[in-house]
Amino acid sequence: MNIFRIIKKSDIILAAALILVCTLLTFVSVSVPEDPGSSAVVVVTKDGELFESCGLFEEKIIDTGSNRIVVENGEVYMASSDCKNRICVRQGRISRPGQSIICIPNRIVIEIKGGESGYDAVTR
């Protein structure tokens, strides 16, 4: 039995069309940018008390004495810390509501609050 006699030209066209549609849907769902007018807010707490807050799309450097926090281009990250292991610095950048960076030794918590968190899935 020859496999090319089983697969027809229409099967190949159908498979190519499905691959193309799936690829396009992937690019559309991944490339939706965050709205610059978002109402997301960066909240920094130290020892459980509000230390400072600002808009996610502001450009700001927050110095807590032991940590340096940078807010720029809709992202927040811990630029430096005087704690021993610096896990908070290695955590990288956050940009969506609900994400946080925590420095346990210095008792610093950075959270992004407000705005729209977006959808994880859509069903009908």
Structure tokens at 42: 């960066």
Collect all residues with Cβ–Cβ distance below 8 Å to 10 and sequence separation of at least 6.
none
Question: How far apart, in whole angstroms, are the C-alpha atoms of residue 104 and residue 61?
Answer: 20
Amino acid letter for position 29? S
What's the chain's average pLDDT?
84
Q: How confident is the model at residue 37 (pLDDT cuts 50, 70, 90)?
A: very low
What is the per-residue pLDDT across 3-26, written as a single tens digit (0 to 9) for each?
556 777 888 888 899 999 888 888
Would the pTM of this model clear 0.95, i.e. be above it? no
Amino acid letter for position 83? C
